[in-house]
Amino acid sequence: MTQAGAGRVAPAGVGARIASGPERIEMSGPALYAGLAEVSSFLYKQALTVLPPDVRSAIGRAQQNEPDEGARIRLRVMADAVETSDRTGLIVCQDTGIPVYFLGIGTEIPIDGARLQQALADGIEQATLRHSLRSSVVHPLTRHNPQTNTGRGVPIFHVEFVSGAPWLDLLLVPKGSGSENMSFLAMLTPAEGLAGVKRFVLDSVISAGAKPCPPTIVGVGLGGTADECVALAKRAIARPVGESHPEADIAELERLLCAALNATEIGPQGLGGATTAFAVHVEYAYTHISMNPVAVNIQCWRGERAKARVHADGMVEYGF
């Protein structure tokens, strides 16, 4: 077993034994959707196996900044897990999650949305069978497990249309249950204001404690309706660590919240230490005059995600 030196985690892809996804797919007929299924299959295994570069950097920084010996050991084990997966192709965590797709559909790419969603679901199933991934998806009442990591309503899709874009973006977040179970929504009053929002985020993270596998990425949704607010918080955890919101006042709120959460010293794995959150990301939408919704969605330390951009000519680019 190799060990990372303190503060150093190998860059993504070094030594990774994972097969690559298709570099090009046919852009018409049934082959288009078969190609998209292959891309989806690759993204699922990739997200579970090769952690994003921003997460690796965050683990490294946390190791360097950590005065607590026990916390340093726990961060070292995380770095070791990242590198073990690079080397062996083993998935990092046993939790294969519930697949969540963020789709950016350019208006200049000819695509059938219904067939696209079916193809992406087929890809999740293919990866599950191909790589013997644990099926983590069940019927909510009967708990029936179809053993495919798919089912009615799964994958979850968040769809945006991108005006004038000649491409299709597929961002997959396989969301683990340990962190997803630590999700919170409050329909605050306007009189509770920003102070109420800040307090709710702090209280949520303190009550989650060790359970979401800190250090976490804390996603905060502000505004919208109840459903939109939670979706914004989910979108926030899918943003790369260290990428601040483009609006200065939101970015400042992110920075303040992150500093406050780390002041709690809940620490890596909730056993004390300097880093409780790698980052806080805030996304917002306008809301109603008599509403002040805030949602918290938490991503565990692995920050798993994988992305593909399919261009109109069929070329596929991969990233995180």
Partner 1 sequence: MPTAWWNMASEGPASEGPASDGPASEGASIEAPVRRITGPLDSVTSSALRVGEVLRVDGVIWALRDATLIRIFDEGKAPPVDLTGAILLHSAPSIRKGEDGHYDPVSVGTTTSMRMDRFTRGCVEQLGARAIVGKGGLSRTSGESLQAAGAVYLSIVGGAASPETQQVDAIEETYFEDLLPECLWKLRVSNFGPLFVTMDSTGASAYEEVARRTEERRAKAEQILGI
CB of 32 or CB of 297, closer to partner 1: 297
Interaction mask 105-134, partner 1, x per CB under 8 A: --------------------------xxxx
Binding segment for partner 1 (CB under 8 A), chosen from 63-71, 103-111, 279-287, 307-315, is 63-71
Residue 141 interacting with partner 1 (CB under 8 A): no
- The two structure tokens encoding residue 228: 């939109």
Out of 57, 264, 287, 309, the only residue in the binding site for partner 1 (CB under 8 A) is: 264
Q: Across the strands, what pairs with 3?
A: none
Residues 171-190 binding partner 1 (CB under 8 A) are: 176-178, 181
Nearest to 40 by CA among 131, 121, 111, 135: 121
Are 123 and 37 spatial neighbours (Cβ–Cβ below 8 Å)?
yes
Residue 137 interacting with partner 1 (CB under 8 A): no
What is the full DSSP assignment across 76-136?
A: HHHHHHHHHHHHH---SSS---EEEEEEEEETTS---HHHHHHHHHHHHHHHHHHTTPPP-
**How is the chain split among helix, strand and coil, in percent rounded to 5?**
40, 20, 40
Residue 301 interacting with partner 1 (CB under 8 A): yes
Number of residues forming the site for partner 1 (CB under 8 A)? 62
Are 112 and 166 spatial neighbours (Cβ–Cβ below 8 Å)?
no
Residue 130 backbone phi and psi in degrees, to 5: -60, -40
3-class DSSP state for residue 221? strand
Residue 60 interacting with partner 1 (CB under 8 A): no
Residue 277 interacting with partner 1 (CB under 8 A): no
Residue 289 interacting with partner 1 (CB under 8 A): no
* Cα first-last separation, the chain: 26
Residue 142 interacting with partner 1 (CB under 8 A): no
Interaction mask 191-210, partner 1, x per CB under 8 A: ----x--xx--x---x--xx
Residues 212-251 binding partner 1 (CB under 8 A) are: 213
CB of 109 or CB of 271, closer to partner 1: 271
Binding segment for partner 1 (CB under 8 A), chosen from 11-19, 82-90, 108-116, 278-286, is 82-90
Can you give the binding site for partner 1, defined by CB under 8 A? Answer: 1, 3, 67-74, 76-78, 80-81, 84-85, 88, 90-96, 131-135, 176-178, 181, 195, 198-199, 202, 206, 209-211, 213, 256-257, 259-261, 263-267, 269-274, 300-302
